[in-house]
Structure 1
Amino acid sequence: MIHEVATLTIDPARAADFEATVAEAQPHFEAAKGFVSFALHRSVENPERYHLVVGWESVEAHMVDFRESEGFQAWRALAGPFFVGTPSVEHFALI
């Protein structure tokens, strides 16, 4: 299993709406092939910054199966308007 860690920056004045939108979008991740887990973390020191942490069976499950799905398009349509700048995404493996 790997974890996708997406760093998302939003306008902190829109935090409540963003968090509700992420909850609305979560089923699109859960329905994806290779999905394992889902969590959203907000920075205490930088309240405009979030980490979306999604567990996947493999990098391919995220980058191919999910990214090429309608679920990904729905996620971006819902959450994209909140982004201030381009999200950064990395994949991590437990050591």
Structure 2
Amino acid sequence: MANKLGISYVARALKPLPVGINKACKQLDVSKTEVVMVGDQLMTDIKAANSAKVRSILVQPVVNTDGWKTRFNRFFERKIMRYLQKRNPEVMKWRGEIK
């Protein structure tokens, strides 16, 4: 997809490690204050952003079906989300939809 759009990407980003984000920052020659990680998984995307010390935006998944590894993660993410939503109800709420 990235090739079709003519944009660069980092293959094998190794999330939740910060490796891919750090590599992308270097490739694009941007500082971490100029970067935001947008992802739909707490345990990979958001964890990678936190590890790389960049801002993050958690979005709802686009697809209803996931691979086996993602399904495994989603099981734990539901528990984590419930906990976070109880602790920070204003911060941890979905704010809208892309239509």
**Structures share fold, TM-score greater than 0.5:** no
TM-score bracket, normalised by the shorter chain, equals: under 0.3
**Scaled by the length of structure 2, what TM-score is found?**
0.27
**Scaled by the length of structure 1, what TM-score is found?**
0.28
Bigger relative CO (Cα 8 Å, ≥ 6 apart): 1
Greater CA radius of gyration, 1 or 2? 2
The structure with more strand, counted as a fraction of residues? 1
